[in-house]
Amino acid sequence: MSSVTTASLKFRRLLLTGAAGGLGRQLRQRLKPHCEHLRLSDIADLGDASPGEELMPARLEDAPAVHALLHEVDAVVHLGGVSTEQPWQPILEANIIGVYHLYEAARKQGVKRIVFASSNHVTGFYRQDEVIDAHDPVRPDGLYGVSKAFGENLSRFYFDRHGIETVCLRIGSSFPEPRDRRMLATWLSYDDLERLVVASLTAPLAGHTIVFGMSDNTTTWWDNRHAAHLGYRPQDSSEPFRATAQARQPTLDITDPVVVHQGGGFVRIGPFE
C-alpha cells in the first residue's frame, strides 16, 4: 500500500487504463483514496472489483468502448497500450488509433485532464553524456518511442484546440529497484510514481506539460525545469542501489550503442520482419 502523503483533492470518478499492468496494479491501490469511484480498464484480467471500483475491460481500438469508458469521468490516467518495443500492428492499434479514440472520447464527454503515460523512449537516442529537457527535440529509439511521441503531439493539439489539459509522463524505469547501471539514472520508485501522478492530477493549472518520470537520482540525464509548476517533489533515490547495480555490471563496453544511449537495450530491439 501507499506510504505517500499528498495534497488531497478528491475526484468523483477517475479512470485508470492499463490497470492490470505492472504500474497499473500499483496505481490501482494508490489512486483509490483520491476518488469515490475508480474505473479500471484493461484487456488483461482485472480480477474482482473492490468497493468503489468499476471494472470496464475495453480494447483501445474499439471506439465505442473507449467512449463508454470516459462517460462521467473527471480525469484519466492513461497507462493502457503497448509499453515495450513490438511489431508495428499492435503499436498502431493501441498507441496510435487507441490514443486518438481516447482524446476524441475526452472531447465528446467533456473530460478536461489526462495524465498520459509517455516514455523515456521518446528521447532514447540521446546519449548518456547529455542532459536534456522537455524542449529538446524528440529522438525516439524505436516504433514504441515514435508512438509515444505521437501521443504527446496529439495531446498538444487537443490542448491547443479543445483545452483538454495533459501531463505527459516520460516514465523512466519504474520497478521495485533499479536493475542495472542505466536505471541508476532512469529509476522511478513506486512512491514517487504515485507522487508524480497525483501532482499531475491535482496541479491547479497543468496546460500541456511534459515531465520526465524519475526519482531524485544522483546521476541524471533529464532536467524537469519546464514542469516545476506541477509541484512534483521526488523523495526517493537510486543511490542506495548503486553498489549492487555496479557489482552486477562491473565493466561496460562504451562502444556498445546500448551503453551509449539513454534508451539502453531498446535502441536495438527489432525490426521484427
- Contacts of range 89-96, beta carbons closer than 8 Å, 24 or more positions apart: 91/143, 91/144, 91/147, 92/147, 93/59, 93/60, 93/61, 94/60, 94/61, 95/144, 95/147, 95/148, 95/150, 95/151, 96/147, 96/150
What cell was used for 198? 497525483
**Given candidates 6, 41, 173, 215, which one binds ligand 15L under the rule CB under 6 A?**
173
Based on the shown chain and the rule CB under 6 A, indicate whether residue 262 belongs to the binding site for ligand 15L: no
For the chain, how far is it from start to end, CA to CA, in angstroms? 42
Q: Give the nearest distance from C-beta 173 to ligand 15L in angstroms.
A: 3
**Given candidates 9, 47, 50, 84, which one binds ligand 15L under the rule CB under 6 A?**
84
Based on the shown chain and the rule CB under 6 A, indicate whether residue 202 belongs to the binding site for ligand 15L: no
**Nearer to ligand 15L among residue 58 and residue 145 (C-beta):** 145
Preceding peptide of 271 cis, ω within 30°: yes
Pick the stretch among 33-41, 115-123, 218-226, 251-259 that binds ligand 15L (CB under 6 A): 115-123
**Given candidates 2, 83, 147, 217, which one binds ligand 15L under the rule CB under 6 A?**
83
What cell was used for 160? 491547443
Pick the stretch among 72-80, 94-102, 116-124, 228-236 that binds ligand 15L (CB under 6 A): 116-124
39 dihedral zone (left: phi>0; alpha: psi -120 to 50; beta):
beta
Pick the stretch among 68-76, 113-121, 157-165, 215-223 that binds ligand 15L (CB under 6 A): 113-121
Pick the stretch among 50-58, 103-111, 117-125, 228-236 that binds ligand 15L (CB under 6 A): 117-125
Interacting residues with ligand 15L between 182 and 201 (CB under 6 A): 186
**Nearer to ligand 15L among residue 13 and residue 242 (C-beta):** 242
Mention every residue, 6+ apart, whose C-beta is less than 8 A from residue 48: none
CB 14 within 8 A of CB 31: yes
Q: Give the nearest distance from C-beta 236 to ligand 15L in angstroms.
A: 16
Binding pattern for the stretch 35-74 against ligand 15L, x by CB under 6 A and - elsewhere: ----------------------------------------
The set of catalytic residues is: 144
Q: Give the nearest distance from C-beta 229 to ligand 15L in angstroms.
A: 24
Of the candidates 63, 122, 73, the residue with the CA atom closest to the CA atom of residue 98: 63
Measured distance CA(191)–CA(31) in Å, rounded: 12
**Given candidates 34, 78, 101, 121, which one binds ligand 15L under the rule CB under 6 A?**
121
**Nearer to ligand 15L among residue 11 and residue 144 (C-beta):** 144
CB 235 within 8 A of CB 192: yes
What cell was used for 270? 527489432
12: how many CB neighbours lie within 10 A of its CB?
11
The binding site for ligand 15L (CB under 6 A) comprises: 83-84, 119-121, 173, 186
